[in-house]
Amino acid sequence: MKFGSALIKRHNQLQWVALLAVAVVLPTVTLLWFMSRVVANERLVVRQKLAALYQDKLADATAKTESLYAARLASLDKIKPVTNPYSLFRRLVLEENFQGVVVWDADGSAVYPQSADVAGNDAPSDSPLADARQQEFARQQYSEAAQLYDSLSTHSDPRVALAAMIGKSRCLSKLGRLEESIDECQKAAFAALPDREDPVLRLAVENARLLLLSVLNRSGQSPLHSEILHRTVNALSNDLYNPAGDRALLPANQNLFIAKKVLEALQSSNLAEDAKATDKLTKLAAAEELSIAAAETIRPFSSQFDGFFQTDLDQQRVYGLRHRTQSSTLLVLLSETGIASAFSGYQDTFTGTESAYRILDAAGNFVAGTPRPAGKSFTAAPLPAAFPGWKVELYFEGGDVFEKAARRQIAVYMWTGVLVIVLILMAGGFATRAVGKQIRLSRLKNDFIATVSHELKTPLASMRVLVDTLLEGNVRDEAQAKEYLRLTAKENERLSRMIDNFLTFSRMERNKMAFTLADVRPAAIANDAIESVKTKFVAHNCHFAIDVAEPLPEIQADHDAMVTVLVNLLDNACKYTAEDKQIAVKIFHDPGFVCFAVSDNGIGLTRKHTRRIFDRFYQVDSSLARKAEGCGLGLSIVKFIVDAHKGRIDVESKPGKGSTFTVRIPVVRGNGD
Ligand code: ADP
């Protein structure tokens, strides 16, 4: 029977535990699943958001580049039919920053650059200069040669006269007569030409100037020399890439040759104030060199206009674009660095962001941006029409930004999730404890009912036996009858005390217990309590001592309730003491309190039990088979009453040595304290 009820109890408990587990585990698992879905979604959402953002930026940058190029092409359209190609060349190179230009006329023949054979120094043998040259170059008789040149320097043919002046200057310089050589050379270099358009004369003058530069370089530095040098360089530079005049003064290859010589002279003479001019000249010369190379390899006719194509010129990679105007075909050239600067739109948009861009030409060559970005490009777009087949790719720098951004958001979800799970677990824990307490309480109540029935049954059964015996007259004599009646009275008293306790507890439980407080003498309480347990103490052979430390102040208390307190403590002292019961009551005055101390030499209590003995239904030995009567209510009733009197109860106990329960009740104000 007992085994069966234990099984049912266990079954009920298991049900509760299972229910709680489901209540905690189910929401936790659901939350975890939900979180994993959210995390996956978040990655996708962040990726889409960022990709869309960067696609917009990309479109902006592409639009900027497109409008830049539309403007550049439009400016090419405004080019007038040219007579002097250097005016166009200068503009396109210096203002529009192209690194080369080729202009063809409507028939496809090159207007610029045009090359011509350099006129040699070799004069035919019938030339008036033949003798002088013979002396200078074959015999190396420089002073004789100088004299011969001198005699020809006033020749009626300006070509001969100019060549003679140059020859004389050359010979003088070879003789080390540098000052004279410089004087002579100046005459040729700055000669007033009768025919400015004669290319032979022009070339002779430019040659004289170059010679002057080299002689000046060899001679010592002086203010006069610097001035001449300056003048010569200026004159040369003015003639080079000269936009004035109807047509180019010199063919492109000769122009370039002189430009290089001028640059050499500028470099070796350190003419600081001409740094800007040197810079321009360097740019123009480089562009001219590239233009000459382009004119040799690139043809004006093509299926493709207004779109950049890649080609190699002079072993460098360049980008060319053909453009047709009304009267001519233009080819503009951009070097690798030149074309990279055309993509400032992308640079402005993407520098300072977490992304990197890379521009590739139609052949897949890197052109601008980050040459080797990490990872895979997350989006790409074609460049504007001026760059056919080109594309721009976008990358994320420093790892995947999608992942980073998603991670931030995911961390927020994770922490929220963890917090919720912790809260669920805590709530589960509290619920488990509450349910456990409830289970324990209901078990205690069940035990209580069993105990109450058991406790009531014993005195009732013995009273019934005694009364039946008396009724049947089964007694030897009057003394025995009296003894039976005394025993009946004792059982009755025990029964009453037990019922009193149950009733007090019941009232206590329902908060119905009312106390009538009055000024009471502590000794009176002690006397009534002792009176009540006297018979029992005698029956159990208790050694009892009482010590009342009079005079004691009165306390404000409910007399009967306080008697219940002491009776319960004395009753326990007797119950939980083995043979040779030594029980003592001490009543004494402690400032502000009157103390009732009940001590015994009984079984004592461990620290753990001491903490719990005031709980309802708590018994150290709760088995039904235990010897002592009671149902774990006595001390809870004691504590309830003491608390109601604003007092305190303390226990000092050692297992096997005995216990002392001390009740402190506050003294009535102004009452002996
Ligand atoms: P009970 O009816 O079981 O005596 P009480 O509430 O009076 O219930 O006491 C609770 C428990 O405290 C007892 O079951 C007992 O184990 C322990 N106890 C009470 N008084 C003493 C004491 N004087 N010495 C040792 N144990 C005691």
What per-residue confidence (pLDDT) applies to 182?
Answer: 92
**pLDDT 10s digits, 151-190:** 998 888 888 999 999 999 999 999 999 999 999 999 888 8
Distance between Cα 649 and ligand 1 center (Å): 14
Q: pLDDT at residue 196 above 70?
A: no
What per-residue confidence (pLDDT) applies to 164?
Answer: 93
Q: pLDDT at residue 42 above 60?
A: yes
- Average pLDDT of the residues of the chain: 83
Q: pLDDT at residue 401 above 70?
A: no
Distance between Cα 562 and ligand 1 center (Å): 18
Per this entry, what is the length of the chain? 673
Ligand 1 within 6 A of 392 CB? no
The residue whose CB lies within 8 Å of the most ligand 1 atoms, and thus the one to mutate among 572, 616, 659, is 572
User: Two tokens at 525?
Assistant: 């309480």
What per-residue confidence (pLDDT) applies to 248?
Answer: 55
| Distance between CA atoms of residues 185 and 482, nearest Å | 170
What per-residue confidence (pLDDT) applies to 8?
Answer: 61
Q: Is 273 exposed, middle or buried (0-12, 13-18, 19+ CB in 10 A)?
A: exposed
- Comparing 125 with 571, which gets the higher pLDDT? 571
| Distance between CA atoms of residues 510 and 513, nearest Å | 8
**Three-class SS of residue 326?**
coil
Ligand 1 within 6 A of 658 CB? no
Ligand 1 within 6 A of 572 CB? yes
Q: Is 436 exposed, middle or buried (0-12, 13-18, 19+ CB in 10 A)?
A: middle
Q: Is the pTM of this model over 0.95?
A: no
558 φ/ψ sector (left φ>0, alpha ψ -120 to 50, else beta): beta
**pLDDT 10s digits, 76-124:** 777 766 667 788 888 888 888 899 999 888 888 888 888 776 554 455 5
- Indicate the pairing of strand 648-654 with strand 658-666: antiparallel
**pLDDT 10s digits, 11-28:** 766 777 787 778 777 887
**pLDDT 10s digits, 490-548:** 788 778 877 877 777 777 766 666 788 889 999 999 999 998 888 888 888 999 999 99
Cβ-contact 81, 402 below 8 angstroms: no
Ligand 1 within 6 A of 620 CB? yes
Q: pLDDT at residue 627 above 70?
A: no
Q: What is the CATH number of domain 514-666?
A: 3.30.565.10
**Three-class SS of residue 467?**
helix
User: Two tokens at 224?
Assistant: 């006069």
Ligand 1 within 6 A of 602 CB? yes
Ligand 1 within 6 A of 600 CB? yes
Percentage above 90 pLDDT, the chain = 23
Whole-angstrom CA distances from 51 to 55, 228, 283, 409 are 6, 65, 42, 17
* Residue ranges of domains in the chain: 2-74+404-439, 514-666
Q: pLDDT at residue 625 above 70?
A: no
Rg (CA), the chain: 62
Cβ-contact 361, 336 below 8 angstroms: no
641 CB-near residues (< 8 Å, 6+ apart): 515, 558, 561, 562, 564, 565
**pLDDT 10s digits, 326-363:** 778 889 999 888 888 778 888 888 877 778 889 999 88
Helix (H) or strand (E) holding 324: strand 316-324
What per-residue confidence (pLDDT) applies to 3?
Answer: 47
Q: What is the mean pLDDT of residues 30-41?
A: 80
- Say which amino acid occupies 655: P
Q: What is the mean pLDDT of residues 204-211?
A: 87
Cβ-based neighbour number of residue 533 at 10 Å: 22
Cβ-contact 146, 126 below 8 angstroms: no
Ligand 1 within 6 A of 638 CB? no
